[in-house]
Structure 1
Amino acid sequence: MTRDEPADETPADEQLLVLPDDLRNELKEPLGPVETDAERLLEAVDGPIIAVGDVVTYHLLQAGRQPDVALVDGRTKREAVDAEIREAVTAGASLEVTNPPAELAAPVVRALRRALAADDPTTIVVDGEEDLVALPAIVAAPDGASVVYGQPDEGMVHVTVTDDLRDEMRALLERFEGDTERFWALLEDAASNGE
């Protein structure tokens, strides 16, 4: 990035999808049941866990389960998380990427692909925002995997990956603005390597 570029813009070759304004309200609805107790949530888990968000990841770690893939950005509800959470969720972080707010950029999609294919738990530290990564994670994760993300002021949303849900997320992602063809090429690589 040169000094002339605004800090919140992604280089054109790295930007894939941008969340259009008309989808923002639609995405506020949880995609699955909302749980406030991590231990109870874990009772319903059968397979790998992809955690999206610092507080969600922290609660899963506190309940004794390291997510197979965790995406964290050091923030919750647009505020910095406290030091205890930040240290707990970034300990042993494997990958660091940039992903601007309201976007899905190539680096985070590539990191998700690598994390899903890895044998060991992988934490991806995102400079920017990781919220939207739950959508491609649902598409790329294997059947029966759990994608868990935070619902502000409510709890943790637990989504169990199925073919129907994958199709729903594909349709939703098709409504984003940007280079969907390149996005799918990167993500399909993730799905084929992750299974």
Structure 2
Amino acid sequence: MLRLDAELNKDIIIELKKPLGKLYPDFEDAIDEIKSSEFLISVGDATFSNLIDHEIYPNLAIIDNLVQRKNYNHDVIHTENILKANNPAGTITDDLWETIGKALELCSNGECYVIDVAGEEDLAVLPCILMASEDTTILYGQPNEGLVILKVSDTINKAQTLIDAFIEE
């Protein structure tokens, strides 16, 4: 398991609070770019919900049933393909890594998958960047700022640098 230590990782925590891609304050402004994606990963409940509201179905969605630490219930998930992973806040567990890897393999058949995380999914963006193909687009919410869209090919090195700063337990 990889863990962020608030004392040791102050600089990394600051970096993680910055968007890793292009920030769209208004979700609707990003729709054309989202629809042009070859393979789409959504991280976060509000992002997933916005996609579904616009009838856009990501290949992989990662949720934790929380929006800004408040319970969130998805009325309709639009897939029976739900995987579970445990991942406490501030960590990236082996279970999350393995579940993302399994989901990415399963998505290759064209079906959509959802990973329901017990704990927190915020840091799942990093393993997604490192494991997905380079033509993948990843979406996640930047709290109180909007939607971030990133291309894996543009962020692999940054993601690896961030992961390297975590503490292995």
Scaled by the length of structure 2, what TM-score is found?
0.87
- State whether structure 2 residue 129 is matched by structure 1 residue 142: no
CA distance in 2, matches of 1:101, 1:90: 26
More moved, 17-26 vs 32-41: 32-41
- Answering whether residue 62 of structure 2 is matched by residue 71 of structure 1, we say yes
Deviation of residue 145 (structure 1)?
0.9
Q: Per chain length, whose mean CA-contact separation is higher, i.e. which structure has more relative contact order (CA < 8 Å, sep 6+)?
A: 2
SS in 2 for 1:49: strand
Note the alpha carbon deviations across 1:95-140, whole angstroms, 9 max, x for none.
1111100000111111100111112111000010000000111111
Shift of 1:33: 1.4
Match of 1:31 in 2: 20
Instruction: Tell me the amino acid that sits aligned with residue 98 of structure 1.
Output: N
Structure 1 alignment gaps of length 5 or more: 1-15, 180-195
Any conservation in 2 of the 1:146–1:160 contact (CA below 8 Å)? yes
**Residue matched to 1:111:** 99
Q: 1:175 aligns with which of 162, 165, 168?
A: 165
What secondary structure sits across from 2:144 in the alignment?
coil
State the match for 1:192 in structure 2: none
Q: Which has a greater percent of strand?
A: 2
- The secondary structure found in structure 2 opposite 1:101 is coil
> Aligned partners of 2:164, 2:96: CA distance in 1, in Å?
18
Give the superposed CA RMSD.
1.7
Counterparts of 1:155 and 1:93 in 2: how far apart (Å)? Answer: 28
Give 3-state SS (helix, strand or coil) of 1:56's partner. Answer: helix
Alpha-carbon shift at residue 89 of structure 1 (Å): 3.7
Contact 1:90 1:123 in 2 (8 A): no
Structure 1 length normalisation: TM-score? 0.76
2:31 is the alignment partner of 1:42: yes
- In the aligned structure 1, how far is the partner of 2:136 from the partner of 2:87? 24
Deviations 1:38-76 (A, max 9, x none): 444231132111100000001011111111110000101
What is the number of equivalent residue pairs in this alignment? 160
